[in-house]
Amino acid sequence: MPGDVPMKQLFTLCLFFAVLFVGAAADSAVAQVKAKDQRIVDQVSKSITKAGELFKDQDFEKSAKLIGKSEKRLLRLAEKAEDGELWTLLKKQHQRLSAARDLLASKGVELDEIAPLPELKQSPPEAVGVSFVSQVAPIINAKCGRCHVAAARGQFSARSFQALMQSTTVTPQMADESRLIEVIVNGEMPKGGLKVEPAELEILKKWIAEGAKFDGQDRSDLISAAPAPTAAATAIRKPTGKETVSFAEHVAPVLQANCGRCHMTRNPRGNFDMANFRSFNRGGDSGAPVVAGNSAGSNLIKRLRGVGGDVMPPSGKLDDKLIDNIAKWIDEGGSFDAADATLSMQALAAKGRSASMSHDELAASRLKESKRIWKLVMSDGDPVLVKSENFNVMGVMEKPRLDSVAKIAQSLVEPIQKSIGTTDKEHFLRGNATVFLLERRYDFSEFGTMIVKREFPAGVGAWWDHNVTAAWTSVYLKKGIDQEKVRVLLARQLASLHVADISPSVPRWFADGLGYSVAAKMFKKDPVVVAWETAAASASSSMQRKSDFLTGNMDQHQAGLVSFAFVQQLRKKNSSFKRLMGELNAGANFDAAFTAVYKKSPSDMVGW
């Protein structure tokens, strides 16, 4: 029957209905808005609710028409909105419209993507602002630290801002609907006789109501550190380019294989957490594990050799050659040669192991992983697979359409390499990459939720990832899409994957920015490229600090757009940019190469 809903989608659809029917109730919490404008918002809200009822009755055509009319009314009102409270009301209804469109798309109803909400003509008044670092984190540490910072009781971790937000206990701008506030108000938390004082509760509520913003330097920094380390111990040292031992390739696999049982758990022994390089570098109860340049004086080597105490790991002393290699890494500076210090030690170890694989071995491994990813999102059927020299193209659609996309992807390889200056590389992507094609917006959204662990904004139609075990791009390819638009979209995604493949030290922001830049150069006058340029300017103006796009303190999609503008500026100095790419192609670390070429780090160049 046309109205049947697959079991794997039922829970998600129920959540969407909650958005459609409950959204109107939330509006009453917003302060006074002009009566005429409020009536229009109320009418739009009722229309969306009615559309939800029609959808439930399987009258998809009428539901779609009502959604279309509601969107037009909302956007007309939004174009003249000069009041921050009205704009907040409109934003909630816009989110409901987007959710409704996803539902209709899941039933095969063809709709254009929802138009973005216009910018507020007059920005809402600046709030005083609650600081996460100086006000919120101390409360969480003091009242929740024992169970949810030092540990992750009930599968809820608040050990960092990043972990707190990933827990879904905080809903930005909706304090009373946030689980964190709910459990405090009803007395469920905190345990152990602790109490969140009324003034502290108001700070938490206000912080969430203001958008749950982060004002620190690194979202993964611990809310509480177990003994406070010295600055020298926590500084992450960058490679000079002269090292012969790589942490990612030679050290991480040894640590992951031999130390994980005790030091990569929720409650690591001796508070020495090796879950990622940042936590490893901090050390534990015995202090920092590494004294850069002095392996004999480093706690890590002492414990591995059994000097002055029990030998580690408890299962037995490691082979001397392995220990000597780690000691050499320390004597050469103990530097970190990957792009992300918060990447799990398991992922770093995978990077190291992949370095020993041939292109064909890695390609076979990645294809197997791609099939596993597809099953997670689309468990009700196998995809059609088309292979080309550099890509695996997967989708549930006619094979000629997959063939067409595979040909487009392959035709972009040479122009991308020529634009970046990597024509001498043996492979466009070592181990190849997969292009996942999804005809329904709902399936593309599911891909975001299941694989990327995030909701894709309405304007996002493609996403890429390169994590050694898998290199892929997921593309929303609705029926009837213009072939040229497909070329532009794929050019950006494949260029970013190619850049990320050059070196594990290349940061996401640079791969994103250069991907946009390459596609923009190849398709200068295309409307899609013009839209990117406008969106990049808007994203740049939204940053609290000029370096937010470098440090992960903004949405990754928005950060990519700002990176686009930054990379465009870098490419204007063509000789310097060519030199940078030459250094990366030769195997140099990104940070070291960038500083050598431009005499400044990226953050110094943009300014704080």
Stated as kind and residue range, the H or E segment containing 209 is helix 198-209
43: containing domain: 7-106
Q: Are residues 522 and 569 in the same domain?
A: yes
pLDDT value of position 221 = 64
pLDDT value of position 463 = 94
List CB contacts of 486: < 8 A, sequence separation 6 or more: 405, 408, 475, 477
Q: Are residues 347 and 369 in the same domain?
A: no
In the chain, the number of structural domains is: 5
pLDDT averages per 10-residue partition of the chain, 608 residues: 40 40 38 65 83 83 86 81 69 80 78 69 53 83 76 72 82 86 86 78 89 75 48 67 87 88 82 87 85 91 86 88 94 84 75 76 90 86 92 94 95 95 90 94 88 82 85 91 88 96 88 96 91 89 85 85 94 92 86 90 82
Q: Are residues 46 and 139 in the same domain?
A: no
pLDDT value of position 30 = 36
Q: Are residues 303 and 429 in the same domain?
A: no
Q: Are residues 473 and 377 in the same domain?
A: yes
pLDDT value of position 251 = 92
Domain assignment present for residue 127? The answer is: no
pLDDT value of position 175 = 86
Q: What are phi and psi of 340, to 5 degrees?
A: -130, 115
Q: Are residues 498 and 362 in the same domain?
A: yes
Distance in angstroms (rounded) separating the CA atoms of residues 441 and 348: 33
Domain assignment present for residue 215? The answer is: no
What does the DSSP 8-state code read for residue 86? Answer: H
Q: Are residues 387 and 462 in the same domain?
A: yes
Domain assignment present for residue 529? The answer is: yes
Domain assignment present for residue 411? The answer is: yes
Beta-bridged to residue 344, according to DSSP, are: 276
pLDDT value of position 544 = 79
List CB contacts of 461: < 8 A, sequence separation 6 or more: 113, 444, 475, 476, 489
Domain assignment present for residue 322? The answer is: yes
Q: Are residues 381 and 461 in the same domain?
A: yes
Q: Are residues 493 and 362 in the same domain?
A: yes
Distance in angstroms (rounded) separating the CA atoms of residues 35 and 592: 59
Q: What pTM was estimated for this model as a whole?
A: 0.54
Domain assignment present for residue 318? The answer is: yes
Residue 48, Cβ density class (10 Å: 0-12 exposed, 13-18 middle, ≥19 buried):
buried
pLDDT value of position 433 = 96
Q: Are residues 138 and 96 in the same domain?
A: no
pLDDT value of position 126 = 43
Query: What's the CA angle centered on 365, arms 364 and 367, to 5 degrees?
Result: 65
